[in-house]
Amino acid sequence: MLGGKALDISLVMLGAGDSTRFKMPCKKQFLRLKNEPLWLFASRNLSEFYPFKKVLVACSEPEYLQKFAPHYEFVRGGKSRAESLKNALSKVNSEFVMVSDVARVCVSKSLFSRLIQNTTNADCITPALKVADTTLYNDKPLQREQIKLIQTPQISRTALLKKALAQNKEFTDDSTAVASVGGKIWFVEGEENARKITFKEDLVKLDLPAPANEIFCGNGFDAHSFGEKRPLILGGIEVHKSMGLKAHSDGDVLAHALIDALLGAASLGDIGELYPDTSAKYKNADSMKLLQNAYKKVLNFGFELVNADITVIAQEPKLAKFKAQIAKNLAKTLNLDEFRINVKATTTENLGFVGRKEGIAVLASVNLRYFDWTNLA
């Protein structure tokens, strides 16, 4: 508040990055801190400090993030920070805008207050850290008194920041963008705890809560009819040379059911949305590669598989001798211990389309938990 009056200000959180430097199966924005994904933890932390006009999150999966915070607005991010910010600013009409990264999760109320209290001093208010250690560039010492380590969040006059980004130049922060169009920059003291999580080693430098011990169940069902003169593939294993199943892909009905179970447990839709059978891209596709990619998506969004229990329902062929081989191949494909995968086979006692030997059905059940980043940090 300034003079008892709230600023006309919106909050933009940037979280559309690919986490390429993070080197974990899970994207950093989806690491769980208790029950919250990191992006929500960081966004809620800042949004509770002030009555923002609106809170906008730039991300790569806006439909998915909306499930966690329907009171926020979401916009699809771009290929760069500047592009993501431009997309978000197109929905901002407040006089000021605060911009931060979702990877800065421990911004304090005192740092926030220093930014708010200095908005009348310049066009962009920026936290910065001083450099205490000797700093070299090309083996030559720099004047450390002249060096600042720039942090976020930063507060800018919205119109000026939009003008700067309209130049279509790449800026790594808002202060350099605003300065490029003649705006005045004001620095406030930053904080070590406001460091950005860039590498997995950064996690141990912050006091962050571990993921909650929740379990998420998912079921997947699929059925295909016989009729293709090609090998019958179940779980990536050939179980018959010519009893192939009709399908857009290779017809691996077991893999399809397992994909659906994984996606369902993570609330990521279903196999038809991820791999539509109207797309030529998936014609005769290797379903084990589809399974591998689907599980990678599940990992990216902050989950890992606890176990899978799969029932193949087939009158023929007999599958007893293939069950262990299928389970082993699934475990290898998903990079899991074999004991986490169980495969069963049964018949319908000659009932229904399975009993008439017209096709095969599969029911898959899985349990997921939050990806445990504490073991890898």
Are 50 and 184 within one domain?
A: yes
CB 185 within 8 A of CB 124: yes
CA distance linking residue 319 with residue 52, whole number of Å: 61
Q: Is residue 137, in this structure, part of any structural domain at all?
A: yes
Q: Which of 205, 223, 246 is the last residue of a domain?
A: 205
Are 360 and 225 within one domain?
A: yes
Are 281 and 200 within one domain?
A: no
Are 99 and 191 within one domain?
A: yes
Q: Is residue 3, in this structure, part of any structural domain at all?
A: no
Total count of domains within the chain: 2
At residue 377, the pLDDT reads 54
Supply 12's token pair: 């933009």
Counting DSSP H helices and E strands in the chain, the numbers are: 11, 19
Cα within 13 Å of Cα(309), Cβ side: 5
Cα within 13 Å of Cα(225), Cβ side: 5
Q: Name the band, by pLDDT with cuts 50, 70 and 90, for residue 4.
A: low
Question: 69-105: per-residue pLDDT in tens?
Answer: 999 999 999 999 999 999 999 999 999 999 999 999 9
Are 198 and 282 within one domain?
A: no
| CATH code of 264's domain | 3.30.1330.50
Question: What is the Cα 295 distance to its own chain's centre?
Answer: 13
Q: Is residue 2, in this structure, part of any structural domain at all?
A: no
At residue 1, the pLDDT reads 57
> What SS3 class is residue 49?
coil
Are 248 and 125 within one domain?
A: no
| pLDDT surpassing 70 at residue 341 | yes
> What SS3 class is residue 263?
helix
Nearest CA-CA partner of 264 in 363, 372, 361: 363
Percentage of the chain exceeding pLDDT 70: 98
| pLDDT surpassing 80 at residue 108 | yes
Average pLDDT over residues 123-127: 98
CB 26 within 8 A of CB 300: yes
Question: 223-257: per-residue pLDDT in tens?
Answer: 999 988 899 999 999 999 999 999 888 999 999 99
| pLDDT surpassing 80 at residue 184 | yes
Are 158 and 279 within one domain?
A: no
Q: Is residue 57, in this structure, part of any structural domain at all?
A: yes
Q: Is residue 200, in this structure, part of any structural domain at all?
A: yes
Are 72 and 123 within one domain?
A: yes
Supply 367's token pair: 């349990």
Q: Is residue 294, in this structure, part of any structural domain at all?
A: yes
At residue 171, the pLDDT reads 93
Q: Which of 152, 184, 205 is the last residue of a domain?
A: 205
Are 18 and 75 within one domain?
A: yes
**Rounded to 5°, angle at Cα 197 from 196 and 203:** 130
Q: Is residue 210, in this structure, part of any structural domain at all?
A: no
Question: What is the Cα 97 distance to its own chain's centre?
Answer: 25
Are 223 and 365 within one domain?
A: yes
Phi-psi region of 32 (alpha: psi -120 to 50; beta: other; left: phi over 0): beta
Percentage of the chain exceeding pLDDT 90: 82
CA distance linking residue 14 with residue 58, whole number of Å: 5
At residue 175, the pLDDT reads 97
Q: Residue 309 belongs to what domain range?
A: 215-375
Average pLDDT over residues 188-212: 92
Q: Who wins on pLDDT, 142 or 101? A: 101
At residue 353, the pLDDT reads 95
| pLDDT surpassing 90 at residue 133 | no
At residue 5, the pLDDT reads 78
| CATH code of 148's domain | 3.90.550.10
Are 114 and 70 within one domain?
A: yes
Question: 48-71: per-residue pLDDT in tens?
Answer: 999 999 999 999 999 999 999 999
Average pLDDT over residues 153-170: 96
Which of 12-21, 152-161, 313-322 comes out lowest in average pLDDT?
A: 12-21
CB 249 within 8 A of CB 290: yes
User: What number of residues does the chain have?
Assistant: 377
Average pLDDT, the chain: 94
Nearest CA-CA partner of 219 in 344, 343, 365: 365
Q: Is residue 161, in this structure, part of any structural domain at all?
A: yes
At residue 3, the pLDDT reads 56
Q: Name the band, by pLDDT with cuts 50, 70 and 90, for residue 142.
A: confident
Are 35 and 181 within one domain?
A: yes
Start-end of H helices in 90-244: 109-117, 158-165, 174-180
Average pLDDT over residues 270-295: 93
CA distances from 13 to 20, 56, 101 (A): 19, 6, 5
Q: Which of 144, 175, 205 is the last residue of a domain?
A: 205
